[in-house]
Amino acid sequence: MAGECQNGRMTRHSIETSDEAGVRFLHFGSEWVQGAMRIARPWSLELEYTRELMLALALRPDPQWPKTVLQVGLGAASVTKFLYRHRPDCRQTIVEINPAVVPVAKQMFKLPDDPQRIDIQIADGVKWMHETRGRFDLIIVDGYDHHARFGGLGNQEFYRDCRARLSKRGVLALNLFGRARGYSRQITGLTEAFSGRVLPLPANDEGNAIAFAFTGERVTLDARKLSDACRELADETGIKWGTSLKRLAQALYNASTEGATSI
């Protein structure tokens, strides 16, 4: 069973997997897809939103970055495996609220058992973020419950805690839900917590909307340079950007209309 924390109590729901057309899907007791893996290519990023989260690597185009990654929400471990393969010097810390997700990720989704490089912490992500004193180059938040709700991971206090945990070249990458009623409030809270240094992408066809927030060294919003960085990353990792680059271009255009040349 998987679970979510509500008013200090853990509610339970099932963890299920299904296979279709060579792809294995993860579900938390509902029709919502919580993760996916193409069985023949377990290291690839099958879902579009997971590829868009990895645009963070193009926004900080350095093959040695990130050295430290924090992920809130394990799911099918897609991003974890991608970084494990393509950033071998990177140490990842995973905060997952329910221990039952971990064996499913290992048994059904090929999560490597390598505690030296993948440190899994069973904890509530909001509380853990508030109490930890570590710093990370990249923080990835992908913590929906089985009803696609963001809960405490979507408030301004949590975003401030994320900012405090980022390094001098830090990036926060969030998977939000652009069709949710609270989406605008989340973007407003994120923008306030990061003093305006936020780059939100338009939602994709499934409703996922990726947003990035930055600390330290500024990111130049140069469409050509970012396009080159994305192409180099695709050559290096085999990632298929698809229509994600169009959403990145739209985000850059939106920023430029507000007069921003860096963020």
Residue of 124, 142, 145, 161 marked catalytic: 142
d(CA 175, CA 259): 26
Question: Are the beta carbons of 156 and 128 closer than 8 angstroms?
Answer: no
CB-neighbour burial class of residue 182 (10 A; exposed 0-12, middle 13-18, buried 19+):
middle
Please tell me the number of Cα atoms within 13 Å of 45 on its side-chain side: 24
Q: Are 3 and 13 in contact (CB under 8 A)?
A: yes
**205 belongs to the catalytic site:** no
| Strand 9-13 to 198-200 pairing | unpaired
- List the one residue out of 235, 166, 228 whose CA is nearest residue 248: 228
Q: Is the N-terminal amide bond of 66 cis, ω within 30° of 0?
A: yes
Question: What is the rounded distance in angstroms from the CA atom of residue 140 to the CA atom of residue 118?
Answer: 14
Where in the sequence numbering do the catalytic residues fall?
142
